[in-house]
Structure 1
Amino acid sequence: MVPERRRLLSRRWFYLLLLLPGLLFALPLAEEDLNAIRSVTDFYGQRAGKRMQAWRELIQRGKQQQWDEKRALTEVNRFFNQMKFLSDVVLWGKNDYWASPMEFIGAGGGDCEDYSIAKYFSLLELGLNDEKLRMVYVKSLTYQQFHMVVAYYPTPAAIPLILDNIDVAIKPATQRKDLVPVFSFNGSHLWLMKERGQGQLAGSSSRLTLWNDLRSRFSSEKLKRPKLNLDD
């Protein structure tokens, strides 16, 4: 099979996998979900709209079935790890850009921050407490570069579980010797990570400019058009 033909078939299977849960468990969506789907469809195209619908159906299914936290982590991690990895320079024409979940889904890909942000906001929607979640900026020893993951703390003193787009299996932080934590944050706080634990509180997460910009765009649903259209 020629490479181009193989690439097109892989894409079709990807979209089928995104849509399959919705086909099997069709759920009525709230008006705000339908509006979001229409916005993404109008701005990014039909395939992006289907991805958006699959995400909103995932969230509604989790709420309806009252997933426990372990199930929510598994489903959200699996869903977003299907997206394509691309650097901010290639996709957005910027050295560093934190995409909102709608932008990430609309574009059909992104970098490690985009995976982590989409997972974080999805888990909040599914009812997980913000105090149990952090986005952690780490250094990947495997790739010798900075990286971002999501950490889930079952209890404040527990060893966190790591949701990652590189190693897609959810593992305790003690099993991720390839990651060295630098700092972490959630909706309220910022921590400096001096060790593989809670870290030292360093103030409010509002100190992070990119985080403030992201939350502003996310709350107002302002969308940015990517430099590269993955659906072309």
Structure 2
Amino acid sequence: MYSVLADDSRAVKLSSARIEEYRRLYGDQAAKRLDAWQRLIRESANLPEHEKLKRVNRFFNQVRFLDDIVHWKKKDYWATPVEFLISNGGDCEDFSIAKYYTLRALGVADEKMSLAYVKALELNQAHMVLTYYDTPQSMPLVLDNLIGDIRPANERPDLLHVYTFNGDSLWLSKRGRRAELVGTSDRLAPWVKLRDRIQQNDVNLSQSQEP
């Protein structure tokens, strides 16, 4: 079974030399965003867990929202956190993935988090958020790029939960909670492709908008 622990460091922790390489390739502004991200990780390492959630959610919600078809010239593309920040844009999956990997690197346990596919009822469209479970029985908190406040799932009636997954597992979800384990997250092809690119340190920005 795949474990997300294997690629936390590749997904998140960048050396100064690596950031300088990205500066040469993608410019000063891209490097500044990566530097700010690394500073967030260093400064948040010893904070209480709920403060980590707030800081990470606030940091990534500053990035531009851009549809995949506009940004990547593809119908559906799940960007790595590095791609998301270098290009300064992405859609709901990219926000959620970046928050997930950053919080994992900050020591938040994988079993406490899920990437949740929902329907945003007011927008009448599919959406993704990150959910956090203080305990297995807790009502999860929702980290969302649509709303800056972190709220419990039962205080988000605008979201209809469909399924949820993390590094290993895939569940159907009901009223914001994990309801039924239906397999491993390897069933989700975009997730598998994302992990493979992270493992290979692959940054593909040739089809995105200019940062």
- Given the two structures, how large is their TM-score scaled by the length of structure 2? 0.90
CA distance in 2, matches of 1:139, 1:226: 31
User: Hey, what does 2:42 align to over in structure 1?
Assistant: 60
- Superposed CA RMSD in Å reads 1.4
Number of aligned residue pairs: 199
Q: 1:110 aligns with which of 64, 86, 90?
A: 90
Q: 2:27 aligns with which of 45, 50, 58?
A: 45
The aligned amino acid for 1:86 is L
Matched, 1:34 2:16: yes
Larger Rg: 1
1:127-146, aligned counterparts within 5 Å? Answer: 127-146=107-126
- Given the two structures, how large is their TM-score scaled by the length of structure 1? 0.82
Per mean C-alpha deviation after superposition, the further-off stretch among 222-231 and 156-165 is 222-231
**Are the structure 2 counterparts of residues 91 and 32 from structure 1 closer, same or farther at C-alpha, using a change threshold of 3 Å?**
closer
Matched, 1:219 2:169: no
Per mean C-alpha deviation after superposition, the further-off stretch among 86-95 and 191-200 is 191-200
User: Hey, what does 1:183 align to over in structure 2?
Assistant: 163
**Are the structure 2 counterparts of residues 57 and 186 from structure 1 closer, same or farther at C-alpha, using a change threshold of 3 Å?**
same
Q: 2:188 aligns with which of 182, 192, 208?
A: 208
Does the residue aligned with 1:210 lie in a helix, a strand or coil?
Answer: helix
Does the residue aligned with 2:50 lie in a helix, a strand or coil?
Answer: helix
Shift, 1:228, TM fit: 4.3
Structure 1 residue runs without a partner (length 5+): 1-30
CA contact (8 A) 1:157 1:198 kept: no
Does the residue aligned with 1:131 lie in a helix, a strand or coil?
Answer: helix
- Structure with the larger RCO, 1 or 2 (CA within 8 Å, 6+ apart): 2
CA distance in 1, matches of 2:186, 2:25: 29
